[in-house]
Amino acid sequence: MEFKAIGVLGAGTMGAGIAQVCAEAGFKVVLVDIAPEFVDKAVKGMNKNWSKAVEKGKMAADQAEKLNALVTTSTDNAAFKDCDIVIEAIVENIDIKKKVFKQLGEICGPDAILASNTSALSITEIAAATNRPNKVVGMHFFNPVPVMKLIEVIPGAETTDDVVEAVMDLSRKIGKEPVRAKESPGFIVNRILVPYINEAAIVYQEGIASAEEIDKAMKLGANMPMGPLALCDLVGIDVVLAICEYYWREFGDSKYRPSLAFRQKVRAGHLGMKTGKGFYDYTKK
Ligand code: 3HC
């Protein structure tokens, strides 16, 4: 399987990062979201990152222009019709994903692969909604996408090995290291990382230490690159809460009960860096 054009559905933090690394690897990228302001913000962000790379002497100025030319945007999923693969990075809602994947199957050519960047949801369930469950696969990136090296590749029940291999190969071509994981809630990284973040939020909620002290402790005591509550703000408190609730439902095990601190912050609209407030206040910086 040869990839020339890559579709990215969803121009949020993850979608923008995925579009950026695909363009950097020389692929044509079609970036789609529901509103022009979302795709415009993503393209602006990519160009800002490329300008920084030029300033640091890591990229030639004409290279940044070439990369920008590789990215086209649209608000219509029909723009994916000639893409060899579409990577979906939209909201973590299984019903919306199923609806969108069904539509992508109708738009894309018969050989196109449909990949989901879902953090935790069932690839098999998403695949079953399409006309090509053998060509649907999980391709899970990590935030911030331009920096994080890993991609988890997750086959659904009917995904063929050649599709998995093609996506692993594509992952290497965009400068990442793929790891294959069996389908299970949260796959590998989020299965381990989310309960860790949740425990940190429970420690916070119990008043054992402040957010700053918890993060400092984990950075200096366990050599984490950033503390769990700062990481939670980076990922999105709503996202972490939704993943905890999903584990609780799927595994039926109360060890996945989410911290009340998540619920309180989500109710207040404090979702982390993306809203300016979470465990930390970013509006003052
Ligand atoms: N976009 C692009 N580049 C970025 C970036 C971003 N958002 N954030 C940082 N960078 C780049 C910087 O430009 C810098 O590049 P340079 O070396 O060329 O100068 C480099 O990364 C290092 O950045 P900083 O010096 O500013 O900061 P740090 O060294 O502290 O690194 C960090 C920042 C990479 C975010 C680091 O703190 C880290 O690795 N944190 C943990 C991240 C993590 O665990 N992510 C996984 C989250 S889970 C997930 O995504 C799964 C999902 O399903 C929930």
pLDDT digits (tens, 9 = 90+) for 72-97: 999 999 999 999 999 999 998 999 99
Q: Which of these is catalytic: 24, 116, 140, 198?
A: 140
The response to whether residue 142 sits with its C-beta less than 6 Å from ligand 1 reads yes
Omega before residue 225 within 30° of 0, cis? no
Q: Which two tokens stand for residue 106?
A: 């109708």
Which residue in 273, 136, 259 sits closest to 205, CA to CA?
A: 259
Q: Which two tokens stand for residue 3?
A: 């990839």
3-state secondary structure (DSSP) of residue 283: coil
The C-alpha atoms of residue 203 and residue 221 are separated, in whole angstroms, by 16
Domain ranges of the chain: 5-180, 190-272
The C-alpha atoms of residue 263 and residue 242 are separated, in whole angstroms, by 10
> Is 274 known to sit in a ligand binding site?
yes
The C-alpha atoms of residue 200 and residue 39 are separated, in whole angstroms, by 34
pLDDT digits (tens, 9 = 90+) for 230-256: 999 999 999 999 999 999 999 999 999
The response to whether residue 188 sits with its C-beta less than 6 Å from ligand 1 reads no
Nearest residue by C-alpha to atom 2 in ligand 1: 146
The C-alpha atoms of residue 204 and residue 210 are separated, in whole angstroms, by 6
CATH superfamily of 190-272: N-(1-d-carboxylethyl)-l-norvaline Dehydrogenase; domain 2 (1.10.1040.10)
Residue-level pLDDT at 1: 81
pLDDT digits (tens, 9 = 90+) for 170-225: 999 999 999 999 999 999 999 999 999 999 999 999 999 999 999 999 999 999 99
The C-alpha atoms of residue 201 and residue 88 are separated, in whole angstroms, by 29
The class that CATH gives domain 5-180 is alpha beta
Please indicate whether residue 65 is annotated as part of the active site.
no
Sheet with 113-116: list strands edge to edge.
71-74, 28-32, 5-9, 85-88, 113-116, 136-140, 150-155, 177-180
CA of 225 to the centre of ligand 1 (A): 9
| Position 262 pLDDT exceeds 90 | yes
CA of 85 to the centre of ligand 1 (A): 26
pLDDT digits (tens, 9 = 90+) for 99-123: 999 999 999 999 999 999 999 899 9
Instruction: Evaluate whether 86 touches 108 at the Cβ level (below 8 Å).
Output: yes
- Which of 46, 118, 147 should be mutated for ligand 1, with most atoms under 8 A from CB? 147
* pTM of the model as a whole: 0.95
**H helix runs in 131-259, sequence order:** 161-173, 189-205, 211-222, 228-235, 237-251
Residue-level pLDDT at 285: 67
| Interface pTM, i.e. ipTM | 0.95
pLDDT digits (tens, 9 = 90+) for 3-48: 999 999 999 999 999 999 999 999 999 999 999 999 999 999 999 9
| Position 67 pLDDT exceeds 90 | yes
Nearest residue by C-alpha to atom 5 in ligand 1: 144
> What residues does 31 pair with on adjacent strands?
8, 73
